[in-house]
């Protein structure tokens, strides 16, 4: 292996360590600012760290000489196994993706009374938890209802009442915010 390749792999490893730490800090800060449960924050952290790890490994592999063809065969095989494993639950990945988007961009939170507008299947209740796959609502009759994140992401959701004020959206470091 050439010296340049070693240097690039070390740079990727350094960027990976620093980037992973910064991603975790960002997710933790957003979770704290929006009063999001620690479990949900950890879900999002895990998913983003897995994606970041795959990117770093792929980049390192390409630099050390693993051909794009070899890499695509490996990734294709992994996704084929994953696809077979998730065949009955094909929407799992869409729920995970929707959960990440809901974490960062949606205005409702645990404790809000919401109505999910879905025609005859509309549902309303107080959000008890937002998990990696579902929004869990306490309905007026006292029952628990789960609604998939991918459908929540696609449907109109109205906030009937909220206990939270909107979190400020800023990209400045914490030290400068006061």
The domain spans of the chain are 3-85, 107-161
- The whole-number pLDDT of residue 176 equals 46
Q: Give the CATH fold of the 107-161 domain.
A: SH3 type barrels. (2.30.30)
Answer positive or negative: Cα dihedral of 118, 123, 129, 133: negative
pLDDT in tens, 73-120: 777 777 776 666 555 455 677 777 777 787 777 778 888 899 988 888
- The whole-number pLDDT of residue 96 equals 77
- The whole-number pLDDT of residue 177 equals 46
User: What mean pLDDT is predicted for residues 2-26?
Assistant: 90
pLDDT in tens, 131-152: 888 889 999 899 999 988 888 8
pLDDT in tens, 20-67: 999 999 999 988 888 888 888 888 888 888 888 888 888 888 888 777
Helices (H), the chain: 3-33, 38-63, 68-85, 92-105, 149-154
**68-104 per-residue burial string, b: 16 or more CB within 10 A, e: under 16:** eeeeeeeeeeeeeeeeeeeeeeeebebbbebbbebbe
């Amino acid at each position: 292996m050439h010296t340049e390749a070693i240097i690039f792999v070390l740079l990727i490893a350094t960027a990976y360590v620093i980037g992973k730490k910064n991603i975790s800090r960002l997710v933790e800060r957003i979770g704290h600012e929006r009063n999001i449960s620690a479990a949900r924050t950890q879900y999002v952290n895990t998913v983003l760290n897995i994606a970041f790890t795959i990117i770093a490994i792929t980049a390192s592999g390409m630099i050390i000489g693993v051909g794009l063809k070899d890499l695509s065969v490996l990734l294709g095989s992994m996704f084929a196994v994953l696809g077979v494993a998730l065949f009955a639950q094909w929407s799992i990945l869409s729920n995970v993706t929707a959960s990440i988007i809901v974490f960062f961009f949606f205005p409702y939170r645990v404790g809000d009374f919401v109505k999910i507008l879905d025609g005859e299947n509309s549902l309303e209740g107080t959000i008890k938890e937002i998990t990696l796959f579902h929004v869990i609502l306490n309905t007026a009759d006292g029952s628990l209802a789960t609604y998939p994140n991918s459908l929540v992401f696609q449907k109109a959701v109205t906030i009937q009442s909220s206990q939270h004020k909107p979190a400020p959206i800023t990209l400045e470091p914490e030290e400068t915010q006061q």
